[in-house]
Structure formats: C-alpha cells, structure tokens
Structure 1
Amino acid sequence: MMATGYRLAMGLACGLQLSALMPATCMAQWLPTLEYQLALTDQQSQAVDVQSQRWRLQPQWVGQYQAWRFNVLPQLELQSSGHLQGEENQNRDNYPPEDINYNGPLYWHSGLRADMREAYADYDGTLFATDWSLRLGKQQVAWGQADGFRVLDIINPQDLREFNLPDQQDTRIATWMLNSQWSLGGDQILQLIVIPDLTFSERAPSKSPFAITSPELTPTITAGQAVVRKATKRPDWRPEWALRWSDFVFGWDVSASYFAFFHDTPVIYREVIDSVVHVSPEYRSSQLLGVAANTVYGSWVHRFELAWLDRQFLISSAEYSAGINESPEAQFVYGLDFQGWSNSVLSYQLYLAYLQDEQLGTVRHQQSIRHTMMMKRSFLNDTLNTEVFLLLNRDYNDGQWRLTGDYQWNDNWVIELALDAFYGPAIGPFGQYQQANRLSMGLEYSF
C-alpha cells in the first residue's frame, strides 16, 4: 500500500514538474469539479426545511509516468447546514483502526470532511505470453448488469448516509486492492482481485433521516429496556478475493464469478442477561457464486444476474437464536430494456431473493419480490436528460419513486434537479424513509 502511494506520488510530481523535460514519458492533467447541492424536505417540521446543504470539491489529477497511468481523486466536502450536517460517526469501526489514515476520512469535523476517493495506477503489458493489465491502488470495481440492485456488484462497500439516492458510483467506497486481468484468447478474460483493505459500509448516524429502523434490518429493542453495546468485532486480518471469467458466446456477453468476502454491515447478535440486552455487532464472512449475461435483439436488451450466497444473516425474534438466523440465499435479477424510441430508454427489472432455510423467528420473508420501471429521455441535442424511476417492494408493498433532470448549460456548468419520495409502511426497507422525502437542486462546475 505504501509502495503504491509512493509510485502515485512520484507519477504526480513527474506530471506536474518534469513534463517539459520528459514529454514523451511523463504527462499529467488536472480535472477539478465543484458541486453544490441543496435538499429540501417537509417531513421534519411539517414545513419546508433544509435536509442538507453540501459543497464538494474534487481536484482530480490523471497522468502518465513511463508505462504507468495514474488517477488521483481527493475530495473535500462541507455539509454547511441541514439534518445530515455535522454528526460525525464516532464509531468508525467500518474502517480498519490501524489504517484509518489510508482508508477512512483524512479529516472530519463539524461537517467538513476530506477523503481520498480514489488513488490508483494502471499498467498494461505481457505476462506468461498473454496480454495482462493491472490496476493497483484505491479503486471501485463494478460487476453485474442490474440497476440499483446489489446482486453481483458487491466488491466495494457502500456509503449509506443517504441510502440509495446518490449516483451508484458515488455510493461505492473505493478500497485498496490489486485488480488484474489476463486475456485468454478471443474475447475470454480472467480477472483476479485481492483486497487486503477491510473497509466496510458507512451507515447513517442514528439521528439522521436515513438511519436504519426497519425491523427486517435492525433489532427492535423494547422502549425503556437497558442496552449494553459491546465493541464491534472486526475480523482478523484476512484478505477478500474474487475471480471472474467472461467471454462472448453465441451473441451473449457472459461471465461467471466467485467472491470470498465479509458482509459490509455488521451482524447484530444480542442476548438478554438479567433484563439487560447485550448487543454484540460482528462482521461475518460469506462466499458468493454468480453468473451474469446480456444480449441485444434488435431494439431489445436482455440481461440477468444470478447469485448464490452460502450464508446470509437475518434478524430473528426467536430468543434462543441470539437474535440471528443463518441461511443460504439465492438472488436473481432479470432486466429488459427497450431502445427503439429516439433518444429514449425504457427499462423493467424483476428481482427475486429466496432463503433456502425457513427458520422460526426470521423477520424477513423467505421469498422477496421487487419490480422497477425506469424511463430515460434526452432533449435538445442530449443537453437535457430526464429520468423517471419507480420501485415496488412486494414484501411490504413499500417502495420509492424518483424524478430527475440535468441540463448541460455550457461546457462548464450542469444544472440538476431531483424529486425523491418513499412510500409504504414504516416497517419496510423503503417505507422506513418516509420522513426523508426531498426535493434537491444542484450545480456542477468543471474547471
């Protein structure tokens, strides 16, 4: 990890200071952006109120040093007001404590936060007589075909401080890893990922409108009952690793994958001793086997993902279970996209999840079904982009809908507008956020 940082720093220094001396092997480019977002809600005080007001600066550098290409993306964020501002998560057990300066926020106080969003170097060459590429450093890896469902796309943990409302790329937390790919001939590619960085998902603080309250996802404690929370048990150092094979077969892009990983949110074990609830969070491991495929028939795109997890950890109401039941789980997503209308895309997705073991006390349904509909359309020579997104969770008949639009005013300015709403009973994973409905407006300036 330190060697990676040294290589990136040397490449950055080369690009900024020595390009005049070595123009053929040493180049760099600065691509900063500045974003402003204001989110308004009427749920907290029954009047229009500020949910969040955020400034974000991303001074990105990209460049090349000899055969290495590099990308460095720091981020400075200021939450200047609102219900999401200023409550630092003092319990930062989602970051490795011994490496928090490399993995977690570089600085975080009173709404001001500095992070290294990404920092990696790329190298292309030949290894064992095959084409080989390497990406080394802090990065994101996107697997799968689904929009909004994390079936195979679970390599990176998530920033859940605003649930799923930010763009998917913004919710992934980049982690330090070795990401290598080999060409096996034709369209076959073998990918190996080794992740020594055990950073986990960042959850919303307890007082946030996006705090998890659904009994399906967090234990229910009786009002007035004494609770003792033990320190979160992190895993002993053991890297996660993944293997993925992909090819183009009979008109289909297909892939098969394996991932040995730790769940990105802790399993909440609990025990009642002398009328006191003792809570013991712990990060637990699992294995995933998955396949994915997509193809195009005329104006239609068919895509699917199938995953099997050997251990899913589920909230249980049974007293003898320590508050948790375990079961293997199968997940499936089928997507159908229609692109036959000019400047438009219409998409439908069906999500199914099935728990193999039906155990007494499990709060979650054995079978889960969700549907999504999305329509995207662009206008004015693709400078105005609009999207309508609808989600129905059949488990509780809850869900969400979203209207978004962004306008490319000129080469530097983008104007954004979004309306987000959740519905259904508060016990559902989406209905729990009824108090988080909001209208958000944003500006983005690229230097």
Structure 2
Amino acid sequence: MRLRQFPVLLAAVSAMSMSTQAMDVEHLSVVEVGAAYAHESGSWQKQEIAWRPTWILRFDSSARLTLRGQARLDAQDKLNPGQPEQPFRARYTRAGFPSEHTELELREFFWDRYVGDAFVSLGKQQIVWGQADGLRVLDVVNPLSYREFILPDIEDRRIPLWSALAEIPVQDWTAQLVWVPDSTVAESTLPVAAYSLIPDPFGDGRLEVDRPDSLADSDFGLRLSTFVNSWDLSLNYLYHTIDDPLIRFDPVRQRILADYNRSHLIGGTASRPFGDVTFRSEVGLESKQRIVHFATGTVADTDVGSYVIGLDYSGVSDWFISAQFFQTYRFSIDDDRRSEEQTTLLVRRNALNDALMLEALCIYDLNDRDSLIQLSAEYAVSTRVVLKTGADLFYGKPSGTFGRFHDESRLMAGFSVSF
C-alpha cells in the first residue's frame, strides 16, 4: 500500500462507520487572538487570530471520528514567512498557505473504536509516550514544529502524523503497537524566520531536505505498560527516523543540506506518588545518531543515552511545583558536546476560585549557561472567555541554546473564546 492510499483507507473505514446511524455530533471551537512584541528589537513579532474547531462524531457501533482543524491569520508573517514549501513534511501532512499571512491545516483526523478488549485508532493523530514534561526522551513518535521554538505548549508543537495504533490488554500489561507510514520530520523554519535553528552561511536560505521514504522507512513501535504497587511503569521500543537532521553545507553549490538516519530506541518510564510528592523518571537509548565534528567537519556515528528525573509537589493548596533534570550522553563523541544537561523549574498558582492561574517556568542549560524564562497569567472571565498575558525571556550568550534568541524575547497579550 502506498502512502497516498492511507488517507483513502481511513476515509473508507470512516464511511463504513457512518453507514450506521450517528448517535451524536459534538462540536467545540476555540478562537484565539494574540499579539507578541519583541521589546529588545522594538518590533511586533506576531499579531495573530486563530480558529481551532473540533468535531467528534459518535456512532451506534461505538466508533468515533475526530476532526480537528486550524485556520490562522498573522498580520506580521515573521514566524514562518511567505508561503513555505514545507520540505520537512510528507505530502498529506502539509498545511495550506493561501497567502503569505494565512495558514490552513487539518490538525487531526482519526477514527477509533474498541474491538473486543482491544482499542484501535487510525488516522492523523498524536501518539504520546513518556513521563517528562516538555523535555523529550521517549516522546519522539511525533516530530515537533519549531515555528515558535519551544515556546507554545508541546501539544500545539507536535505535528500529528498519519499512523495506526492498537492497544491490547495482556494479563496485567497493556501492549501498544504503533505504525507510522508518514515521513514527516521535525520542522524548523527557514533561516529568514524569527526562530530559525538552521544556520545560513550563504545568505540565501537555499535548503535541500533529504527525507526518508514514507512507506519503506515507516516507524514501528511497541510500548508495554503496567501498574504495580503504586508504580506506573512502561517499557518502550521504537524503530524510527531521528527527527532532527544532520546539517551540512555544500560550498560549491552554496546549498544547506539536511538528511536523516534510522535508529532503534529502547527505554522505559517509572513514576510513583509519595504523599504530596510524585517521582517521575524516563530513560532512553538511541542506537545511532550522527554528529559533525566542529574541528574537522567529519561525520561520526554515536549511540546516545538520555534520561529525565522529575519531582512534582502539590502539598500546599492551590500551588504546584515541578523540577526536572535532563541529561544527554553521546558515547562515541570526545568533545564538549559529549554530555549535555538542562534543568527546569515550574511554579503554578491558582487563585480566585481557580479563575486566575499564574505560572513561571525556567529552563536552564548547564553547558551554555543560558536560560529561558516563561511567565504567564490567565484569567477566566467566564467559562468561555479567557484573558491571557505573559512574557518569554531569553538570557545568555549568542551562541547558546537560548541566548541566540535574546533579541526575540517578547511580551504577549491576548484572549480566547470558546463556543
């Protein structure tokens, strides 16, 4: 079966579900209006209105069909300028750009139901693994969009993929089988964009992306999960494409080259509450990742281990505090990038009978000694109207993970309406 036939297959399955009378149709739309001002550069970064509708159709057969869309209008067009060709996305995963300022996207479109004791889901969807909050070790089934770097919630940054999932109970365990015939990889904006992660020594932004073949290089995964003596445990395996590319430069043709490799990921998670404190941990080992040596320009293969340890505290009424430590270790690399560490601290406070939520998140990179601080406040005027304000602040040297975006530090304000 070719990849272009997968959406057709889903449509056929959906049509069979619709042959039985639908029990009901649920609809929820959220309209968000927001603006961000980059105070360091003295310019507006975005002035955006987005409509995010969701429809859920339920049928007598217990099947459901979920459709989530997104329409976005940005008057500034600095985050993903123009009408990008989207070289990081497979054909049926791409968004539409009717103009330089508008974007239309089918975010999710999947069919699911129980077949006996098994749960099956087919379509364009998000598959979430792992226990870490924001820092990814095992949560790599879906790639991320870096349109706004790592600033939005991760649910909004994940790129839903055409995929199939089955969850099957096996005694005290649940086995989750995953197939992803969609070659979309992590999406960085081009060098002219505000949060581009791609260097451009030639100054013209000409990029060649050699993505894997969607069907021949499908991703396959197995996740086993269980609950034992208050411990939430999982064992994970994924054969997949490393979503972050190897970036090289062709000085003869003056091209930026991005290509990818396949890898086996094995790992697991463990979490458990201890009174008011919850312990979370996640570990993973990639069999292959390619690194370019700064000094020689040669490419080296290495296996990579990474882990996250987190503690969540909720012992004080209306407060939530979470801290994490993240480390990546490249076993075959002998330079300053062999080991990388980051820490995070999240503090959240609910007030006014939960109508007001205040939140502060700090991510600190121990290698580059730079940081990102995100401050936000949300006030629910009613169940349907929420006012929002906040700031995303980058600190550190220009060569650092976060310091490179110092001039993109921003102040934000907006509101959302649901109906």
- For 1:391 and 1:55, how far apart are their aligned partners in 2? 28
CA shift, 1:282, in A, is: 1.3
Partner of 1:78: 73
1:38 correspondence with 2:44 = no
- Look up the SS of the partner of 1:211 in the other structure: coil
Partner of 1:304: 281
- 1:161 is matched by which residue type in structure 2? R
- CA distance 1:410–1:247, shift in 2 (3 Å): same
Partner of 2:307: 332
Q: How many residues matched?
A: 410
1:166 correspondence with 2:166 = no
* Counterpart mapping for 1:53-202 below 5 A: 53-67=47-61, 68-81=63-76, 83-84=78-79, 86-90=81-85, 92-96=86-90, 100=91, 102-126=92-116, 131-186=117-172, 188-202=173-187
- Look up the SS of the partner of 2:405 in the other structure: helix
- 1:367 is matched by which residue type in structure 2? S
CA shift, 1:226, in A, is: 9.4
Between stretches 376-385 and 188-197, larger displacement belongs to 376-385
2:283, 2:307 within 8 Å by CA — same for their partners in 1?
A: yes
1:37, 1:55 within 8 Å by CA — same for their partners in 2?
A: yes
1:287 correspondence with 2:264 = yes
- 2:246 is matched by which residue type in structure 1? V
Unaligned runs of 5+ in 1: none
- For 2:38 and 2:297, how far apart are their aligned partners in 1? 42
2:231, 2:271 within 8 Å by CA — same for their partners in 1?
A: yes
- CA distance 1:278–1:202, shift in 2 (3 Å): closer
CA shift, 1:201, in A, is: 1.9
CA shift, 1:125, in A, is: 2.1
- CA distance 1:320–1:227, shift in 2 (3 Å): farther
- 1:232 is matched by which residue type in structure 2? V
CA shift, 1:441, in A, is: 1.2
User: Which of 246, 260, 265 lines up with 1:267 in the alignment?
Assistant: 246
Deviations 1:82-112 (A, max 9, x none): 533642323x22122xxx2x21113442111
- For 1:267 and 1:104, how far apart are their aligned partners in 2? 22
Residue identity (%):
27
CA shift, 1:272, in A, is: 5.6
Select the structure of larger CA radius of gyration.
1
Deviations 1:208-243 (A, max 9, x none): 221126xxxx5x74xxx7999673222233211111
- For 2:306 and 2:48, how far apart are their aligned partners in 1? 36
- CA distance 1:36–1:352, shift in 2 (3 Å): same
- 1:294 is matched by which residue type in structure 2? S
* Counterpart mapping for 1:213-252 below 5 A: 221=201, 231-236=208-213, 237-252=216-231
Task: Tell me the C-alpha RMSD between the 2 structures.
Answer: 2.2
Partner of 1:258: 237
User: Which of 4, 7, 22 lines up with 2:10 in the alignment?
Assistant: 4
- For 1:84 and 1:270, how far apart are their aligned partners in 2? 24
- For 1:114 and 1:34, how far apart are their aligned partners in 2? 14
Partner of 1:398: 370
- CA distance 1:439–1:82, shift in 2 (3 Å): farther
- CA distance 1:166–1:108, shift in 2 (3 Å): farther
Unaligned runs of 5+ in 2: 1-5
Partner of 1:417: 389
1:371 correspondence with 2:343 = yes
* Counterpart mapping for 1:422-437 below 5 A: 422-437=394-409
- For 1:423 and 1:240, how far apart are their aligned partners in 2? 37
- For 2:37 and 2:386, how far apart are their aligned partners in 1? 20
TM-score, normalising length: structure 1 = 0.86
- CA distance 1:265–1:50, shift in 2 (3 Å): same
CA shift, 1:295, in A, is: 0.1
CA shift, 1:43, in A, is: 2.4
